[in-house]
Amino acid sequence: MTCRICGALLPDGAMFCGDCGSSTSATPESRRRPDPRPGDTTMLERPARRNSGVISVPVDGFRPATPITGDASADRTRLPTSVEPATAPRFVLSFSTGETKTVFGTGLIGRKPLPQPGEAFDHLVQIGDHTLSVSKTHLEFGAHEGVLWIADRFSANGTVVRRPDDGAVRCEPGRRYLVPRGSRVELAEQFFSVR
């Protein structure tokens, strides 16, 4: 008979290994210690998804048709590459933590938001969440024709939008949802309202 932990030869009827001290019934799996590190995000149970007339914008946004007539290089309509901060609509986000943040352009919201390589944002808004219900990078936001939009960044507990004239809408990750002023956006146990 051999020890399943260290491989030492054991006498018949032995209950413990004389080399490593393991029980003869121990296996490598039973000896594995649990990981003491806390999980990144605590999962919460959410009510079932309700369909309440979602207004969504494709992730690439809407691009106006650009008519090309005559000389293509001279008459092409140019699309703006970015909105200037001076002319960009500004939104005030009032968080459940008591903080407010005035934003324009694009940004990320989360416990410790971090853009992916190659991404650039105007704002990285950090939420203090001791319950760890909000993901590190929970959602992305921007503006579309003067209205704020949000997109869940595949967060663990999801995002819910409550518009003033509509019911609750659970956001599908990766899609943009328009959030008019007066709406409330719930990020697990935290939330913010848009003014």
Percent of the chain with pLDDT over 70: 71
The residue length of the chain stands at 195
**pLDDT band at residue 15 under the 50/70/90 scheme:** confident
Tell me which DSSP letter residue 10 carries: -
pLDDT > 50? residue 59: no
59, two tokens: 């992730």
pLDDT score recorded for residue 57: 46
Q: Which H/E stretch holds residue 29?
A: helix 28-31
pLDDT score recorded for residue 31: 66
What's the whole-model pTM score?
0.58
The average pLDDT across 110-115 equals 94
| Mean pLDDT value across the chain | 79
**pLDDT band at residue 40 under the 50/70/90 scheme:** low
Tell me which DSSP letter residue 2 carries: B
pLDDT score recorded for residue 94: 96
The average pLDDT across 108-133 equals 92
Strands (E) in 39-180, as ranges, are: 56-57, 91-95, 100-103, 107-110, 123-126, 139-144, 147-152, 159-162, 168-170, 176-179
Whole-Å CA distances, 5 to 13, 14, 83, 102, 130 = 17, 14, 64, 60, 41
The average pLDDT across 153-169 equals 92
pLDDT > 80? residue 140: yes
What is the set of domains in the chain, with CATH numbers?
1-35 (no CATH), 86-194 (2.60.200.20)
